[in-house]
Copies of this chain bind each other. A is one copy, B any other.
Amino acid sequence: MPSDDHHPGAAMKNFELPEAFYGITAEKYSHGRSNEDVVGQMLQAGIKIVQYREKEKTAMEKFKECLTLRSLTRRFGALFIVNDDVALAQLVDADGVHLGQDDLPVPQVRTLLGPEKIIGLSTHSPEQFQAGLVSGADYLGVGPLYATQTKTDVCPPVGLNYLAYARAHATLPFVAIGGIKAHNLAEVRQHGAACVALVTEIVGAEDILGKIAELRGILESVPQLKPI
């Protein structure tokens, strides 16, 4: 277990989040399409990190689905992250887990996953961001920036000021999340997000490949970010 060094996993591997988009499953908002179908389209569109987040399925259903998605993401050279469930992540050989503030603590999860796996941690305030930087996580979530329908247990929107704070203080990669859509993507990028998670905007798009092309076009229209 980590003792002196606050972030041994993160420090050792210099993890970087892939640029631009972070995909997250939400079958409920996918208009009847399976996660395999939707994730397949994300990957074809060049997304390099996908998180499996399904709260309402049984562990057995999640296990079977994650085996399929693990194989699919591997074929495309993309990272596969499992939300919350550490044992599930281990059993399907995911690249890592994403934890919330109310999930198992990062240092303890690190003892189960070892130094090589990726641990992401959601943060919702400057205090949580600072704690996250020394928690042993490899990257942080920053949000929810706007109101969102996909998480029912989440706190109120934290706004763009918190994103600017994260950008100014980041010593780890972070991903902006929560209600991000084509119409607000430019301001999210302008406030410092190199990596942006979109849920319903992608999984709910009629034409997922077209939607991701549209989103890339928006990013090209705003000034590029300097590396952190």
Interface residues of A (CB under 8 A from B): 58-61, 63, 84-88, 90-91, 101-105, 108-109, 111-112
Contacts and interface: CB of A to CB of B under 8 A. Distances in A.
A91 B58 CA distance: 22
28 contacts: A58-B102, A58-B103, A59-B84, A59-B102, A59-B103, A59-B104, A60-B101, A60-B102, A60-B103, A60-B104, A60-B105, A61-B102, A63-B104, A63-B105, A63-B108, A85-B87, A86-B86, A86-B87, A87-B87, A87-B104, A87-B109, A87-B112, A88-B104, A90-B112, A91-B104, A91-B108, A91-B111, A91-B112
Contacts of A105: 60, 63
Contacts of A103: 58-60
Contacts of A84: 59
Name which of A60, A87, A88, A90 has the most chain B CB atoms within 10 A of its CB: A87
Nearest to A97: B87
A119 to B, nearest CB: 12
A63 B103 CA distance: 9
A98 to B, nearest CB: 13
A121 to B, nearest CB: 12
Given A58-B103, A91-B104, A91-B111, 19 more contacts: A58-B102, A59-B84, A59-B102, A59-B103, A59-B104, A60-B101, A60-B102, A60-B104, A61-B102, A63-B104, A63-B105, A63-B108, A85-B87, A87-B87, A87-B112, A88-B104, A90-B112, A91-B108, A91-B112
Instruction: Count this chain's copies in the assembly.
Output: 2
A161 to B, nearest CB: 27
Nearest to A61: B102
A57 B36 CA distance: 30
A88 to B, nearest CB: 7
A91 B112 CA distance: 8
Contacts of A61: 102
A61 to B, nearest CB: 7
Rank and list the top 3 A-B pairs by shortest CB-CB distance, nearest first. Answer: A58-B102, A86-B87, A59-B103
